[in-house]
Chains A and B, each alone.
Chain A
Amino acid sequence: MVFLPIVNVVLGSFGLSIFEILKGSSPKITLRGYLRFLNPSEPYLQSLFFTIYISLIATAISIVAGYFFAVYLVMKGWRISMIFTIPLFTPYVVGAFMWWTLLYPRGYISLIINGILKYLGLIRYPIPLVNDPYGIGILFGEVWIRFVTAVMMFYSPLQLISRDLTDAARVLGASTWQVIRRVYIPLTKYSLIATSAIILLATMAGVSIPLILGGSWPQFLNVMIYLDVTETFNYLSAYVSGVFYLITCAILGYIFFRFAMKRVVMQTR
């Protein structure tokens, strides 16, 4: 039962239906969907690259900001407040709509950012911060949620690092940056890899945020799948996109489990 949906997607990408096969009808294999997906003049490849590109940026921002924020909390000896974890419990759709109202042309954040940029003479016309072709809106929505996830995931491993090590570094004259670089990062590098992989996979898999905050083009591949299924009823393309999605996520998942998981466990022990 676990693999049935995946098998169905793979078969569907070749124009086959698991139910038709079970019924005994003679199936006709087609590569039309794959040819279409791989054709650079079609939107799918670009869509896949855009998905990876935006997911990587969102992950990088979340990881860097989240890591340093977690280090700051640990250094200060502060705990994570419950209020800080609100994005974790906010449904993605709600979070996305909330950001939309802040980023749309008359939203507070949009007015502030565009006002500052205009005041500085950097722009003549307001720049779109949502439903834009650069994925700015998606980045706001994704980072808002993933940043908190990253902080939560970094906080525990950072807390496990013995205070003696950082004190020793300080006694030997290390600056804060050197403590981070020489003590914290080496001792949490596998946590960094694991968290990055988890956040990247989660960002790539989500549909609500890119659907609401993304633009007409380029689109996340999962938005393309959604539109193919519910708007244009192009199941073949949806199946093929699904296969490519699965492959991409499987590669990332493999990297995560192969290189990170074992070491994370070992490090924790």
Chain B
Amino acid sequence: MEVKRLLVVILATILLSGIYVPLSLAQPITLTKKNVYSLSWDEILKLAKREGEVIWYGFGSTYERDFFTKLCEMFTKKYGIKATYVHGHWFDTVQRLISEKEAGKKVGGIDVVLAWSKPFEMAYEKGAVWDVNLAEIIPNAKGIPFVAKYFHDMYPTNGRHLPILAWWVGFLYRKDILKYPDDVPTSFDQLLDWVKKHPGKFTYCDPNKGGSGHTFLMGLAEWFYGYDKFAFTKFDEKYAGKLFSSPGKYGMNFWQYLNELEKYMYQPGNYPQGNKATIELFEAGEVWLEPMWVSITMQEVATGRLDPSWVGMYIPKPTMPGPFDGVFIPFNAPHKAAALVFINFLLSPEVQKLIPQEIGAYPAVTEAWKLVPEKVKKQPWWPINPPYNDLVKWRNFGPLWYRHADYMFFIMKKWIDEVARK
């Protein structure tokens, strides 16, 4: 009798453990690099709710700060997962992650990081990024243009970084004085002539002090030597040195061209120190044409510093490259499932359609542009870009150039020697 009872207990234990094992497989306590690929989205969502919190580190202007804080509030309300936004600087955040990696800190305090290409590269190469292909896991990522999903400024992200928006630089011009397309250089080919004909009316931001400056120079270089010279190529400093010393357009090399341009620019040799200083010159009526971020233009109009009747924006031909900035999950994020759900939320139509009107950037998910209200699209800071004009058509059919992070850094460094010092 005793033996029978013992057998029943053993059998029951075996049976129960048999049930428990599949159950435990179905609902892991934590998300790992391996099980994340096999879980369904609903299971990830359940795990996220169990984690209950997500902490997002970002950067940008006060407009971005307010918008990102608002997004966290929306997320908390929708999912019941507490989202907190911390506004800082990408440099500090990435340095912190790298230090934590080197110190072997397995559980950190950041779940999602907003970063552009170089900080992401720094973090990724130091192993401070969660090594998971977000593009394959996050459902809403499928709407991002393919190249932007796997490269950032031509640096291969392998899907570890997902863009959530696209900042863009256009040519900001005085619409009340100049008429598009007759009075402005509609292509880079016409820029030098236009600047010569309008001395003192063009400027660009010091490329080491503001993104509008180095994005403009990157676009200019891609036009000057041909996009194929840069597109997804390996960077080599010696080769870059040779390339930029070789003749491109007008029998000049790139630096000669910039120095020639400088002669006719606003206060030759004197470059505005930052995006803000650059647009201030435009607002003061000192210059009539300059490369400028769409977002900053929008924010300056919104704050009343820039007269909207002055604002005209267009993309010069052949096109202007732009960065798709986005997010990654740190290697030691304490709430990885919640981070995945949060990124999916950032890429949802309800958030993507808000990006243009709230901060003046393009959505990363192209189709979301269709959801943006017409009155927002009609604002003067959205660049004219014939024959596409509409973002969806531009992304689908137009030349969509990207910046090459390494070449851009090369240009920024060399610019001091070759242009500023001369």
Tally of A interface residues using CB under 8 Å: 28
Contact A43 B284, beta carbon cutoff 8 Å:
no
Give the CA-CA distance A44 to B321 in the complex, in Å.
Answer: 31
Cβ–Cβ contact A19 & B102, under 8 A: yes
Q: What is the minimal beta-carbon distance from A93 to any residue of chain B, in angstroms?
A: 13
Are A100 and B286 interface neighbours, CB within 8 A? no
Residues of chain B in range 218-268 having any CB-CB distance to chain A below 8 Å: 267
CA distance A215 to B206 in the complex (A): 9
Interface presence of B420 (CB below 8 A): yes
Assembled-state Cα–Cα distance A232/B409 (Å): 6
Is the C-beta of A227 less than 8 angstroms from some C-beta in chain B? Answer: yes
CB pair B277–A104 under 8 Å, yes or no, is: yes
B420 with A216: CB separation less than 8 A: yes
Q: For residue A241, give the distance in angstroms from its CB to the closest CB of chain B.
A: 14
Q: Does B392 reach chain A (CB closer than 8 Å)?
A: no
Within the assembled complex, what's the spacing in Å between the Cα atoms of A106 and B269?
A: 18
Nearest CB of chain B from residue A226's CB, rounded to whole Å:
10
With known contacts A19-B102, A105-B286, A132-B270, A233–B421 Cβ distance under 8 A: no
Instruction: Answer whether residue B299 sits at the interface, using C-beta atoms and an 8 A cutoff.
Output: no
Could you tell me if B413 and A215 are in contact, using CB atoms closer than 8 angstroms?
no
Which residues does chain A contribute within 8 Å of B74, judged by CB atoms? none
**Among B118, B280, B421, contact of A217 (Cβ-Cβ < 8 Å):** B421
Interface centre among B200, B281, B409, B413 (most CB of A within 10 A): B413
A41 and B93 CA atoms in complex are apart in Å by 35
B416 at the interface (CB under 8 A from A): yes
A212 in the interface (beta carbon within 8 A): yes
Contact with B along A99-132 (1 / 0, CB 8 A): 0100011100000000000000000010010011
Contacts of A234 in B (CB 8 A): 413
Q: Which residue of B lies closest to A126 (CB)?
A: B267
CB distance from B383 to the nearest CB of A (A): 26
- In the complex formed, the residue of A with least CB distance to B409 is A232
Interface string of B397-422 (1 = CB under 8 A from A): 00000000000010011001100110
B138 at the interface (CB under 8 A from A): no
A43 and B417 form a contact (CB under 8 A): yes
Chain A residues, CB < 8 A from B200: 125
Mask of B285-325 contacts with A, CB within 8 angstroms, 1/0 = 11000000000000000000000000000000000000000
A131 in contact with B277 (CB, 8 Å): yes
15 residue pairs bridging A and B, Cβ less than 8 Å apart: A19-B102, A42-B417, A43-B421, A46-B421, A105-B267, A131-B272, A133-B269, A211-B273, A215-B420, A216-B416, A217-B416, A227-B208, A231-B208, A232-B409, A233-B118
10 new A-B contacts, CB < 8 A, other than A212-B273, A231-B208, are: A42-B417, A105-B267, A125-B200, A128-B267, A131-B270, A131-B272, A133-B269, A230-B91, A232-B208, A232-B413
Binding site for B on A (CB under 8 A): 19, 41-43, 46, 100, 104-106, 125, 128, 131-133, 211-212, 214-218, 227, 229-234
